[in-house]
Structure formats: C-alpha cells, structure tokens
C-alpha cells in the first residue's frame, strides 16, 4: 500500500469508527453518515482485499445495519488473513452468539456476548473449549475451530486446546488448519500438543513422512502427561505402519503406548494400531484378538476394516460379512474426518455386492480375491 493509500485508509477508518462509537440509539444523521461512507469502504476493500482492519470495520457496519450473516462472512475473511488474532476471533464469537440468541431453537441459557476486552479473567478457556465442543456437535465447524483457537490464545500453557482446534479444523479444512498451526511453531516450539496436532493433521491428509517428522519432534520433548505421550507414540506407530518397512519400530512404539496410556477401557484406538501392525506382519491370530478388542471399545470404519481383513485371513466369513455390512451402512463422521475413512467407505460401498458374493461362496480363492479388493486400503 502506498503512502497515499495509507492516508486515505486512516482518514476513512477514523471517520467510520467515530460514527460507530456513538451511543446506541444513534440519530438518523449518524445512520445516514454510515450509509454514505460505506461505498468508500467498499472501494477500499476492493483495492486492498487483505486488509484486516478494513474487513473488521465493514463487518461492524454490516452488523449495525442488521446484516449479521454478511458480518460473520467478513470476520471469517479477516480470520483467514490473520488466523491467530484474538480480537478477530472474539468478534467472530460475538456475532455467533448474537446469531444463536436470535434463533428460536437456541439454548436459552446461552453464555453472555463477548467483547474485545475479553481475557482469561473474564471467561475461562475451558468454558470456551466447552462451547467449541458444543458447536462441533451441532456441525458449526467454523465456530468450533475459532473458539478452540481462542481458548488456546487465552491460556497458551493449556496446550490441549490445540487438540480441540485440530479436531474441528481437520473436519473443516485440514490443509488450512495445517497452515495455521504451522504459524504457531516459532512461539510454541516447546509445546508437544502442537506437534501432535500437526502430525495428526498430516495423517488425515495422508502425508505420512511429514506426520512422522512432527510426531517425532513431539516425542523428543518427552512430555510428562501420559495421555499425550501415548497419543504421540500411537500416532507415530500408525503413520510408520502406513509407510511399510519399519514394523518392528512400530510394534515397539505401540506397545509402549499401551503401557503408558492410563485408561485400559478407552485404549481401543491403540489396540487398532497394534492389530494393523500384526496384520502387516502376517500374525493373523494376534491381529484378530487386538482388532476385536479395538472394535468392541471404539467401533469405527477404520478399525472395522482392519478386523474384516483379519477375519478373512482366519476364514471367519460370517464375521467378515457382518463387519463389511456395518461399514457399508456407515456415514462419514465429524469424529473421524480422515481421508482414509472416506476412501474405505467409498470402496466398500462400491464393491459390497461383489464382496458379499465372494464371502458367501467362501472358497480359498474367493476369500483371497475379497482381501485383494480391500488390501490397498490398509
């Protein structure tokens, strides 16, 4: 932007801010002045589409004129330009709350509107994280992602909020989320949760070598949190297993993950990784036992696929058929936004009729052909 543009923008911004900051119940003259200034702001944004201050100001103009959806869209654009700007995230949530409050089906006990002076002394990051999870369950991924980022910014020492951000971001737009998380690295280079989030996003995107790089960086920090350590170990074992060739290393990693993970009743995701490794090593009985436990604890498309292959290898055709039908009747979920899951669903739904015929015939050659259809998904 040249100096004349800066001067033009400063004068325009100051004039609009003065108008917008007048007390509520503004005069008709003030409303008319805002409307009159709007074309100038439109022209400025057209010339400078990446100007966060201009986008923010236009969002406030739209909100003042009752155009809340347009205001949220503008704040979304500003967030794309400056993804870790707490003020922009706060304004976005203010608009989200206002929209929720105007919805007759919204929660009558909604939290109060936020303002640009919010801090951890006003509302706790954990409260924001809870709201983020609620927005996630309702399918408002953009709001969930923004709230999770804001929770982290208010209390950067609580790195687990980055996992909420990656969960929502992976379902929303994994490539964008990866770019934005990378921006944190210079200031959060000692945060293992960041590296778990980056590695998990790369796993979602199928970039296994890069995922391994980030996860290894997280492990080098030797986190004391046993849940975090187990998740890093398991995720690294999984991405290495997907690359082939290092199955002994994978086995050591996932066994350690099982040892350190504190909750035996919730370790299905680790059992799934262990089962996959045994499948790739040809140890089918061990694979079957672990994958049955994985599906019992945490049924999902990916673990069911692994169990199906194990059942085919031990010639349990009725069991394999039940798992295939369960997969075919599934739908993509927010909780597992992996490209891997989508590929499994697409392939099995497209080949279910043939797979059913092969399993019903049940001969050795038929079962081998069925496994061949599924093999590239492992």
- Over residues 22-51, the pLDDT tens digits come to 775 567 888 888 888 899 999 999 999 999
Is 9 a member of any domain?
yes
Burial 354-376 (b: 16+ CB within 10 A, else e): ebeebbeeeeeebbeebbeebee
Is 201 a member of any domain?
no
Is 197 a member of any domain?
no
* pTM of the predicted structure, to 2 decimals: 0.85
pLDDT above 50: residue 120: no
- Quote the percentage of the chain above a pLDDT of 90: 65
> Quick one: how far is CA 159 from the chain centroid?
15
pLDDT of residue 33: 87
pLDDT-derived band at 19 (thresholds 50, 70, 90) equals: confident
Placement of tokens 């408002």 in the chain: 140
Q: Are 59 and 91 in contact (CB under 8 A)?
A: yes
Is 265 a member of any domain?
no
Query: Looking at the 3D structure of the chain, how many domains does it have?
Result: 3
Give tens-digit pLDDT for 318-372: 999 999 999 999 876 655 556 778 888 889 999 999 999 999 998 999 999 999 9
pLDDT of residue 30: 84
Q: Are 119 and 128 in contact (CB under 8 A)?
A: no
Q: Are 64 and 56 in contact (CB under 8 A)?
A: no
Is 256 a member of any domain?
no
What is the rounded distance in angstroms from the CA atom of residue 297 to the CA atom of residue 272?
10
Q: Are 196 and 220 in contact (CB under 8 A)?
A: no
Chosen domain end from 39, 73, 95: 95
Give tens-digit pLDDT for 43-97: 999 999 999 999 999 998 998 888 888 999 999 999 999 999 999 999 888 887 7
Chosen domain end from 172, 207, 237: 172
Is 100 a member of any domain?
no
Domain coverage including residue 56: 1-95
What is the rounded distance in angstroms from the CA atom of residue 274 to the CA atom of residue 249?
12
- 89 and 20 belong to one structural domain: yes
Nearest to 289 by CA among 273, 310, 308, 269: 310
Is 2 a member of any domain?
yes
> Quick one: how far is CA 213 from the chain centroid?
19
Alpha-carbon dihedral of residues 356, 331, 242, 298, nearest 10 degrees? -100
Q: Are 199 and 239 in contact (CB under 8 A)?
A: yes
DSSP letter at 113 equals P
Is 102 a member of any domain?
no
pLDDT of residue 119: 47
């Amino acid at each position: 932007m040249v100096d004349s543009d800066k001067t033009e923008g400063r004068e325009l911004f100051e004039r609009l801010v003065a108008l917008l900051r007048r007390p509520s119940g503004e005069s008709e003259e003030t409303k008319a002045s805002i409307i009159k200034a709007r074309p100038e702001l439109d022209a400025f944004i057209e010339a400078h589409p990446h100007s966060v201050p201009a986008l923010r100001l236009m969002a406030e103009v739209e909100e003042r004129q009752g155009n809340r959806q347009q205001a949220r869209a503008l704040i979304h654009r500003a967030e794309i330009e400056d993804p870790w700007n707490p003020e922009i995230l706060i304004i976005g949530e203010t608009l989200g709350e206002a929209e929720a409050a105007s919805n007759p089906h919204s929660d009558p006990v909604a939290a109060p509107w936020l303002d640009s002076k919010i801090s951890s002394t006003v509302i706790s990051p954990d409260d924001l994280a809870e709201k983020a999870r609620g927005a996630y369950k309702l399918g408002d991924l953009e709001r969930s992602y923004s709230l999770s980022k804001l929770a982290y910014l208010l209390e950067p020492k609580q790195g687990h909020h980055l996992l909420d951000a990656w969960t929502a971001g992976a379902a929303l737009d994994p490539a964008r989320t990866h770019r934005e998380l990378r921006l944190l690295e210079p200031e959060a280079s000692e945060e293992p949760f960041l590296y778990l989030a980056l590695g998990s996003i790369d796993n979602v995107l199928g970039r296994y070598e890069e995922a391994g790089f980030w996860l290894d960086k997280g492990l080098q920090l030797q986190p004391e949190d046993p849940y975090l350590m187990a998740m890093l170990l398991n995720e690294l074992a999984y991405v290495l297993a997907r690359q082939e060739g290092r199955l002994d290393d994978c086995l050591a990693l996932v066994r350690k993950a099982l040892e350190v993970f504190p909750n035996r009743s919730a370790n299905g995701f680790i059992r799934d990784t262990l089962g996959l490794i045994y499948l790739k090593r040809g140890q089918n009985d061990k694979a079957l036992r672990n994958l049955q436990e994985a599906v019992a604890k945490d049924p999902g498309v990916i673990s069911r696929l692994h169990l199906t292959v194990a059942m085919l290898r031990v010639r349990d055709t009725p069991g394999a058929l039940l798992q295939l039908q369960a997969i075919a009747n599934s739908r993509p979920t927010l909780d597992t936004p992996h490209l891997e899951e989508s590929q499994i669903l697409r392939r099995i739904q497209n080949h279910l009729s043939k797979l059913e015929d092969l399993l019903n015939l049940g001969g050795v050659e038929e079962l081998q052909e069925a496994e061949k259809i599924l093999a590239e998904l492992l």
